[in-house]
A and B are shown apart, each in its own frame.
Chain A
Amino acid sequence: MPQAPEVSIAAAPEGGYPVLEEGLRPAAASAPTFKHSRLQRLADRWAHLGFLICSLLVVVLIGGILYFLATRGLAAFLPLAGNTGRALSFSEVFLSADWAPSSDRFGILPFIAGSLGVTGLALLIAAPAGVLTGVFIAKMAPAWMRNLMRQVMDLLVGIPSVVYGIFGLTVVLPLVSRTWLADAPASGFAVSALILAVMIVPTIVSLSTDAFESLPAALDEGAQALGSSRWQAIWRVLIPAARPRLLTATVLGLGRAIGEAMAVQMVIGNNPQWMALMRESTDRAPFLRALFTPAATLTTELVQELPNTAAGSTWNNVLFAMGLLLYLLTMVLILATRRLGRGKEA
């Protein structure tokens, strides 16, 4: 058996280890005691309660909205109490394009397709524009322009949507119809998507600027030290590195676009029968035609019709079902954003 090595422990110097000079010593017994007064502790407890109530209120509100939407929305399909209308089947609501409430036909497909179409188109414009502007602000613009652009973007995020709507209605629509459509009304997907894109670009720009600014400068330098041009470094290294956060930015923009009602309602033309109209048309360029056909979305239809329907009627119930659908869509988007945000850290 190997011998254990002899270990010698140095003895403490006489009189103990030297103590640090004044200032680092523990407080002497005569030092004042620092203690909260009774009143302070009471205030603390009440404040705690106040915060708790406020946050609970928010939870209750959100839960309450969901409950309200769900009971009213599901009433369209279930024979619930207080339901004066008839119970519809899921397929005649979600899979039918025939919206004629006065004739008891409640297909909401045009609105779902309308919402997805407008939002998709808006994103197609806004995502590349927003991300590239973000690159420009974070990586190319001189300092004074960077500050200016950031402030402008923050301002634009705060502009009420109805203002964008007025701009679309009074400037863009007449311009488009006079320029390309020979005085036909230009309302429809194209202009709606354009207005929506303008609305969500600032959000995407702000978030992608943050994304690019938070990347370590070493990545940029490393890429360029290998002989990348400015553009190659951005395209091959910076954008891929920022991708999770860019996706988050885009999804947040998407969330804002899909829920937008005012601005879209002012320029889309509000035509629930747009799908039927499309089917009848014998145009040779159906896609282009669709861009300028007056249409409707979930949100615009809610704004248009909800005030005119009797509570508890089938019509009213279906509108609530549309509201529920929007709520769930937004929820899914928010959860997706969280997911993407987490992916960034992994």
Chain B
Amino acid sequence: MLTPTLPETKPIKLSVRDMAFSYGPKKILDGLSMDIHAERVTAIIGPSGCGKSTFLKCFNRIHEVAADVDVSGDIQIDGVDIYRGGIDVVDLRRRVGMVFQKPNPFPKSIYENVAFGPRLFGVKDRETLDGIVEDALRKAALWDEVKDRLKESASGMSGGQQQRLCIARALAVNPEVLLMDEPCSALDPIATSKIEDLISELKESLTIVIVTHNMQQAARVSDYTAFFWLGRLVEMDLTERIFTTPKVQMTEDYITGRFG
């Protein structure tokens, strides 16, 4: 029971097979397998400490920044294992963008924040950069709000704007997958609904994996939902089914608020 039985037309973008993750002697994730389809939104839900964020971070190997960790099993993007076979981590991170829990704009101007990624990859031409920045800001539904103050510091923006800026920053390097780690947990309801609208638009061209604490959010934005508990995948199915007719009792108990 890896993928729900439905006539899925989109190809598999990310596939995870029997994956385990440990940090020192502590096992965080174990025996995980799932398929994530391209141009779909997959939501990961589960109580705090169940390993959802850790799972997300395995897709761009960003956990390697903070600590030595041990990942076993297979994680593939387009059929290529991202932990072995000489894959370039920098290229992986360009293809797999990430938006974090708290907006983390760099202490630079709005323009420089978005141009940061392209500059890393050697784009120097001013006109090309201008184009990329505008395009990314438009995709993140931020252009109209900031087009007259691109040179201003990003720290002067509201939390919701900062988070959309971070999305624009991630989009500027043209990723194939966007990982979102509770992107709305620090935002008010209006900013949250803007981000949710954005997710629905972005999935036209991107694979999105979103970790969320908010059950309604998972129900609103995602096509698939995976429920994690204590580092294991309990159930994954079409979001509709998870929220109406889950197969596992524990899933039902969690989404109806009986525990977690």
Chain A partners chain B = yes
Q: Would you give the shortest CB distance from A244 to chain B, in whole angstroms? A: 10
Nearest residue, chain B, Cβ from A218:
B104
Partner of A226, one of B91, B97, B108: B97
Known: A218-B102, A232-B120. A226 touches B169 (CB 8 A): yes
Q: Are B166 and A222 in contact (CB under 8 A)?
A: yes
Q: Are A241 and B106 in contact (CB under 8 A)?
A: yes
Q: Would you give the shortest CB distance from A246 to chain B, in whole angstroms? A: 13
Known: A225-B62, A225-B93. A219 touches B120 (CB 8 A): no
Q: How far is the CA of A170 from the CA of B89 in the complex (A)?
A: 51
| In the complex, per-residue mask of A215-232: 1 if CB is within 8 Å of any chain B CB, else 0 | 011111111111111001
Q: Would you give the shortest CB distance from B113 to chain A, in whole angstroms? A: 10
Known: A217-B66, A236-B116, A240-B108. A226 touches B102 (CB 8 A): no
Q: Are B107 and A226 in contact (CB under 8 A)?
A: no
Partner of A227, one of B91, B107, B108: B91
Q: How far is the CA of A219 from the CA of B62 in the complex (A)?
A: 12
Interface size on A, residues (CB 8 A): 19
Q: How far is the CA of A228 from the CA of B122 in the complex (A)?
A: 12
B94 within 8 A of A: yes
| In the complex, per-residue mask of B118-141: 1 if CB is within 8 Å of any chain A CB, else 0 | 001100000000000000000000
Residues in A whose Cβ lies below 8 Å from that of B104:
216, 218-219, 221-222
B184 within 8 A of A: no
Residues in B whose Cβ lies below 8 Å from that of A217:
66
B90 within 8 A of A: yes
A74 within 8 A of B: no
Residues in A whose Cβ lies below 8 Å from that of B43:
none
Q: How far is the CA of A241 from the CA of B91 in the complex (A)?
A: 25
Report which B residues bind A (CB closer than 8 A).
60, 62, 65-66, 90-91, 93-94, 97-98, 100, 102, 104, 106-108, 116-117, 120-121, 166, 169-170, 173
A-B contact pairs, 23 of them (CB 8 A): A217-B66, A219-B107, A220-B65, A221-B66, A222-B104, A222-B166, A223-B116, A224-B62, A224-B93, A225-B62, A225-B97, A225-B98, A226-B97, A226-B120, A226-B169, A227-B91, A227-B93, A227-B120, A228-B90, A228-B120, A237-B106, A237-B116, A241-B106
